Amino acid sequence: RIILLFLLMILTKINLGRATRICILKSYQRGLLLFLKFHFLSNFHLAYKVKRTR
């Protein structure tokens, strides 16, 4: 019984680690996409401002 519990703990730990890794990757990708979108938008806005002032 103790061995089974130990195995279960190990399995859940592995699954949790995998899940957290996937979650971290997803959130990282989402953050990166948001950052890129914001970056492009701000650059576009600046270019538009420069065009209008000229």
pLDDT digits (tens, 9 = 90+) for 1-54: 788 889 888 888 888 888 888 888 898 899 889 888 888 888 887 877 777 776
**pLDDT value at residue 54:** 65
Whether the model pTM is above 0.75: no
Give exposure, 14-30, as e/b (b: 16+ Cβ within 10 Å).
eeeeeeeeeeeeeeeee
Q: Where are the domains of the chain?
A: 1-54
Rounded to whole angstroms, the Cα distance separating 35 from 54 reads 29
